[in-house]
Amino acid sequence: MTFWDYAVLADEDLPAIAETAKKLGLDGLCLLAGKPEVPDSVTDIAAGVLIEASKPDDVRKLARKSRKSHEIIAVAGTEESISRAAVETAEVDMLIPSGHTKIDITMAKLARKNNVCIAFSFSQLLQSSLQDRGAVFAQMLKNAGMVIRAKAPFLIVSGALSEYGLRSPSELTAFGSLLGFSGKDVRDALSARLIEENRKRLSKGWVMPGVEVEQ
């Protein structure tokens, strides 16, 4: 089985990050900051973009603009209105809610309808202070409850800002299990399914779901 980390926010020292990811047992990384120029990388690297919009309309505009040039489109859910716009936009691949952003049942159902994954970032726990960590994890548990109830797609990501922010699939699986997800769902959340689907869609032969031109 292949394991992917879909949200790596580091933009420096990319070869070292790729090497550490390989040591940790990750088969692929999606870099959301800057252009990934890593020649001879030991790990599969995908080019993603993190949309940090200030207005909900910007989310839709930026997602549509970057769809054809990036393999993964993520939105930073800094506010509830931004998160809502992200789950309403089918072009968005994943929403990364900030530590205190709430996901309600309507948003979770919209995420399921538009196939937008709700990402749970380990770095939000790692970077929070001890007092804040409890509140961040409590909000994550509530959001995970909504995701389970609505059967919305989700991802478990490290959200690493440097090579030492990366975590292995084993630790990310434990994080997912503590959030209340089943082992099978967590393994699926770490799999290469999303990137394979997006790469297929970005290939020249793809027309629409179920229709492909063979070359």
Contact positions toward another protein, by CB under 8 A?
20, 23-24, 122, 125-126, 130, 133, 162, 164-168, 170-171, 174-175, 177-178
CA angle 55, 104, 60 (to 5 degrees): 30
In angstroms, give the least distance from the CB of 98 to another protein.
19
For residue 63, report the phi and psi dihedrals to the nearest 5 degrees: -65, -45
Q: Is residue 72 within 8 Å of residue 30, measured between CB atoms?
A: yes
In angstroms, give the least distance from the CB of 208 to another protein.
41
Distance (Å, whole) CA 84 – CA 87: 5
In angstroms, give the least distance from the CB of 65 to another protein.
35
Nearer to another protein, 135 or 178 (CB): 178
Nearer to another protein, 56 or 99 (CB): 99
In angstroms, give the least distance from the CB of 178 to another protein.
6
Going by C-beta distance under 8 Å and a sequence separation of 6 or more, which residues neighbour residue 132? Answer: 99
Distance (Å, whole) CA 87 – CA 102: 13
Nearer to another protein, 9 or 116 (CB): 9
Nearer to another protein, 92 or 156 (CB): 156
